[in-house]
Structure 1
């Protein structure tokens, strides 16, 4: 199966990160020899499962990074990740998009084609409207010792949210408002749990919440079937949004390009 992919590149560089990387947009931060978005695009382009790629963000600056690539399109991003995704979906619909979209942010320069393909292959084993990658703390800390992430303790283990998504394009209009609320609370597990009801939050607090129970509640609240995919690749669960992350990325990716 092939997917059209969307890179969400509209993120404004945070004040903390901007102190050591003076760029207005996260996608433009230089890591090693290339802008951060280049690593994400390069991993996608090498996947045989990816057809068109849309980059949603500051189009003028982003176009300057890439040569005239085939099947690469640009669209201005929105105020947040959800609006940026909606802009990309609109463009892809005009071009005749595939049924399912692969979505990822620009701040995951560690991502590899192997990790992307593994996620896509796992998704093909299930029937769902929305797939969301997660990685375990053990996997992340083994690959990137000392990396700081927000973890959730579940019955199934200790996990952090990944940065790969696959969804049916038709569900975008249905869940934009609720998705915006989730994005705003993505760094606060309790705030996210509260969106889905006290029962879910209580099970989370008492460490009795399972992945299956969360998926079931997700369907009841949003009306769409979600499926968490446990990725064995730490590159999926580690992003760059603070100075310590950037320092790790500079060292790790420079070593790879030498």
Structure 2
């Protein structure tokens, strides 16, 4: 069974909107129930059957204090954005011989489970690609978390939200960085995302004829990188904490932990 290294991106600055209710400088340090948010993510990754080394990228001193009893855990300082932070985490992994594929995930997904992680990795292994991006059907999200607010995209296969699990081939990471910056900037705007890949794709999106293979094929033609969207059956992959309503949901579900 193939092993993966993992990078947890915990360098995000707490938004002004969230800070009103959770006065922490870093999202990763927001306490939900008994634990900082980053702990829930780390716990799920550590429990995965597929993960070897873990690097957490974020406020190093605070993270080392939180995880002082954990072994086989590395840390890296954050960069100016999530992509720079990923590069810092990869640099730490490369010092010990990085695995062929790397799992990447943010720190603001406290609902994530080892089962969801293992399922996503298994689905990625059935495909040949340079990177894999999780998506979750709206029905799955709303059944598990009724009323949760997410950005959705209507495709011919269904209505999806972007997930929070990624797998990247380690030898393609450098070539993905510049492109990833553009996608991160547009990820909340489906039409802008489609425009990045061409007006033809944008038109298909507007006329509700865009398919997942359409987007994947166009992506490869434009940038020369093979991307695959992986549909996860776990709503925990598609719900994060980036606004007060999300925080209240997390406190309601995890607050007794």
- TM-score, with normalisation over the residues of structure 1? 0.98
Aligned equivalent of 2:177: 176
Cα deviations across residues 131-152 of structure 1 (Å, max 9, x unaligned)?
1110000000000000000000
Quote the Cα distance in structure 1 between the aligned partners of 2:223 and 2:76. Answer: 28
- Unaligned 5+ segments in structure 2 are none
Superposition pairs of residues 1-258 of structure 1, within 5 angstroms: 1-255=2-256, 257=257
Shift of 1:190: 1.1
Quote the Cα distance in structure 2 between the aligned partners of 1:150 and 1:86. Answer: 27
Cα deviations across residues 140-191 of structure 1 (Å, max 9, x unaligned)?
0000000000000000000000000001111121121111011011111111
Quote the Cα distance in structure 1 between the aligned partners of 2:61 and 2:218. Answer: 41
Quote the Cα distance in structure 1 between the aligned partners of 2:205 and 2:69. Answer: 48
- Unaligned 5+ segments in structure 1 are none
Cα deviations across residues 218-239 of structure 1 (Å, max 9, x unaligned)?
1112211111110000000000
Quote the Cα distance in structure 1 between the aligned partners of 2:128 and 2:112. Answer: 25
Quote the Cα distance in structure 2 between the aligned partners of 1:240 and 1:116. Answer: 18
Does the 8 A contact of 1:175 with 1:222 survive in 2?
no
- Which of structure 1's runs of 4+ aligned residues deviate more than 4 A? none
Shift of 1:93: 1.1
Give the match's secondary structure for 2:139: helix
Shift of 1:94: 1.6
- TM-score, with normalisation over the residues of structure 2? 0.98
Give the match's secondary structure for 1:214: helix
Quote the Cα distance in structure 1 between the aligned partners of 2:28 and 2:59. Answer: 9
